[in-house]
Amino acid sequence: MYVAVKGGEAAISNAHQLLADRRRGDRSVPAMTIEQIVEQLGLAVDRVMSEGSLYDKELAALAFKQARGDMIEAIFLLRAYRTTLPRFGYSNPIDTGNMLIERRISATYKDLPGGQLLGPTFDYTHRLLDPELMGDGAVDEPQSREAETGHTPRVSEILDQEGLIEGDGELPDDHRTGDLTREPMEFPMTRDVRLQALSRGDEGFLLALGYSTQRGYARSHPFAGEIRIGEVEVEIDVPELGFAVILGRIRVTECQMINQFQGSAKQPPQFTRGYGLVFGQSERKAMAMSLVDRTLRATELGEDLTAPAQDEEFVISHSDNVQATGFVEHLKLPHYVDFQAELDLVRRMRGEFEARQNATGQQGDNLEAAE
Amino acid sequence: MKEATDQLRNQEPSDPDQAARQQAMAVLARASGDELSEAWDAWPDRPEVSPVRGPETGLVMVRGRIGGGGAPFNFGEATVTRATVKLSTGRIGHAYALGADKDKVRHAAIFDALWQDEATRPTVEERLVAPVRRRLGDDDARRRDESAATRVDFFTMVRGED
């Protein structure tokens, strides 16, 4: 029950002023600029964009600064901001096959066209804290070597030549692409809507679910067929022009997870696939997303439902951290009246319980005396 | 709705250089705000510019494809700013670009209008589009080469005889 409560205006206003002070911190330390956050905390900005489901580095950096580095608060701010903007339309689908690649690795083929490009990765670092970063030492320019020209095919295209892997994932021709920002969620979902939900889902939640599938809660035998990170063009059809215009580029991370599949009555033994696509550079989340995408296809592929990561309604209903934080955090709002009612109820039940204890206790005493 | 769209289309002169204009618009969309404003500040005989629409910032829902090449899905939104301007010469220019930089997109729309005018197109190409295209191409080449330096060259250790 919610009851309007008056009072606290001054406390709230002062609390917000205190928040602003603590956010700024020691005034003798220079304030961070948005450019510094975009340039030097880029992966935090990427996470805010990905889970905020809004690609805009400056706004994501502003949200991160305003939230004092609290990721979910920053994501919440970005989601709230997007509701104030009109929707101009839908882009043409991006082509990740035609990406300006910054990193591309495959765990399934050593030698493949385009090669293995490590890019700016934490992999193979020793995870030792670097005291040099306590200061502002000069950083060397990166090495450079002449790039190969030509198409870098997806690993799935290579496997497809043998016919041992399923296709990319078609939906019926008359299927209208679902949009969960426009329509209420309904279960069961089609895979397009599920991917939209997973792409904006909480990284930690998807990571834990993906991990659970590896530990045996839904057997899935995955291989990271390919991970690629880089920039793709975004293009939109403009009706008043009668042709498509390129809006610019965005950075995305794509993961193609490949899973052994023993086949079913309907399908031959082959490799199946899980797909991950995430805004920015976010390999961990793209990998987790592709694991979860694959396990959520259990019904489609005729697999036994045995694990939480296969339960679409459970996974998708709890993957959005803005919804989750809203419901968990609402518990701190005043529930004075509800609690008074519960307090009364518990007192009454306790009274009845004690009365019963006393009655049976006395009976027991009487019995003992009689014996 | 379809008719309205067709009407809007018919207001534009049918443009035989559509592909070239598309490419120029793509370059203008990726030009920096400074590149565009400096080019406009230095433009000789600047025409009067009146706004037709915007500049306004909104959202485009970016689509991906399942598995990379399958059915489309809605991936997530991006901020996009668009503007339509009319020059005192009568030319109408449009611009769309990612982000929320309204000045940049207004300038891009002006240059789209100037590009459509055959009298000013060579100057737009020479002073703005070509240099920005070159800078973008150089940036891409540099980044490709930096990535290429992180390519793994495998070698095999042969042990034992034969």
Q: Is B71 within a domain?
A: no
Band (B161; pLDDT cuts 50, 70, 90): low
Cα of B21 to nearest chain A Cα, Å? 9
**A to B CB pairs, distance under 8 Å:** 242
Q: Which segment of A97-106, A268-277, A347-356, B149-158 scores lowest on mean pLDDT? A: B149-158
| A144/B82 touch (CB, cutoff 8 Å), yes or no | no
Q: What is the 3-state secondary structure (H, E, C) of chain A?
A: CCCCCCCCHHHHHHHHHHHHHHHHCCCCCCCCCHHHHHHHCHHHHHHHHHHHCEECHHHHHHHHHHCCCCHHHHHHHHHHHHCCCCEEEECCCCCHHHCEEEEEECCCCCCCCCCCECCCCCCCCCCCCCHHHHCCCCCCCCCCCCCCCCCCCCHHHHHHCCCCECCCCCCCCCCCCCCCCCCCCCCCCCHHHHHHHHHCCCHHHHHHHHHHHHCCCCCCCEEEEEEEEEEEEEEEEECCCCEEEEEEEEEEEEEEEEEEECCCCCCCCEEEEEEEEEECCCHHHHHHHHHHHHHCCCCCCCCCCCCHHHCHHHHHHCCCHHHHHHHHHHHHCCCHHHHHHHHHHHHHHHHHHHHHHHHHHHHHHHHHHHC
* Residue-range definition of the domain harbouring residue B27: 15-56+83-146
Contact B79 A85 (CB under 8 A): yes
Is B154 part of any domain?
no
Other C-beta atoms lying within 10 Å of the C-beta of residue A279: 31
Q: Do B69 and A168 touch (CB under 8 A)?
A: yes
Q: Which residues from A are below 8 Å from B96, CB to CB?
A: 236, 238, 245, 247
**Minimum Cα–Cα distance from B7: chain A residue:** A240
- Pick from A91, A97, A243: CB nearest B61: A91
Instruction: State ipTM.
Output: 0.91
Interface contact flag, A59 B151, Cβ < 8 Å? no
**B22: in domain:** yes
More confident position, A210 or A158: A210
CA atoms of B20 and B115, how far apart (whole Å): 10
Looking at residue B102, what is its pLDDT? Answer: 97
Q: How far away is chain A from the Cα of B26, in angstroms, using its nearest Cα?
A: 5
Sorted by sequence, the CB contacts under 8 Å of residue B64 that are 6+ apart come out as A93, A94, A96, A195, A199, A252, A277, B72, B73, B75
B45-52 contact pairs (CB < 8 A, 24+): B47/B87, B47/B88, B47/B89, B48/B87, B48/B88, B49/B85, B49/B86, B49/B87, B49/B88, B49/B106, B49/B110, B50/B85, B50/B86, B50/B88, B51/B83, B51/B84, B51/B85, B51/B86, B51/B106, B52/B84, B52/B85, B52/B86, B52/B92
Instruction: Report percent pLDDT > 70 for chain A.
Output: 96
- Tell whether B75 is covered by a domain: no
> Global pTM?
0.91
- Chain A residues touching B60 at Cβ < 8 A: 87-91, 234, 236, 247
A29 CA to chain B: closest CA distance, Å?
29
- Closest residue by Cα to residue B100 from A59, A114, A329, A241: A59
Q: Which residue of A has its CA nearest to B67?
A: A168
Q: How many domains does chain B have?
A: 1
Q: For residue A33, give Cα distances in angstroms to A64, A77, B16, B159.
A: 11, 18, 46, 56
Answer yes or no: is B94 within a domain.
yes
At B16 the pLDDT is 60
Candidates B60, B66, B147; nearest CB to A236: B60
- First-to-last CA distance in chain A? 54
Are A193 and B78 in contact (CB < 8 Å)?
no
Residues of B in contact with A192 (CB under 8 A): 66, 71-74
Q: Which residues of B touch A115 (CB under 8 A)?
A: 151-152
Min mean pLDDT across A131-145, A213-227, B145-159 is at: B145-159
C-alpha span between A338 and A330 (Å, rounded): 14
Q: What is the per-residue pLDDT for A17?
A: 97
Find which of B12, B22, B80 to mutate to test the A interface (most A CBs within 10 Å of its CB). Answer: B80
B160, part of any domain: no
B157 belongs to a structural domain: no
Tens digits of per-residue pLDDT, B68-125?
999 999 999 999 999 999 999 999 999 999 999 999 999 999 999 999 999 999 999 9
Distance of alpha carbon B49 from alpha carbon A287, whole angstroms: 49
Residues of A in contact with B58 (CB under 8 A): 85-88
In a domain, residue B91? The reply is yes
pLDDT in tens, A115-140: 899 999 999 999 999 999 999 989 99
Question: Which of A154 and A101 is assigned the larger pLDDT?
Answer: A101
Beta-carbon separation of B68 and A156 below 8 A: yes
CB A198 within 8 A of CB A206: yes
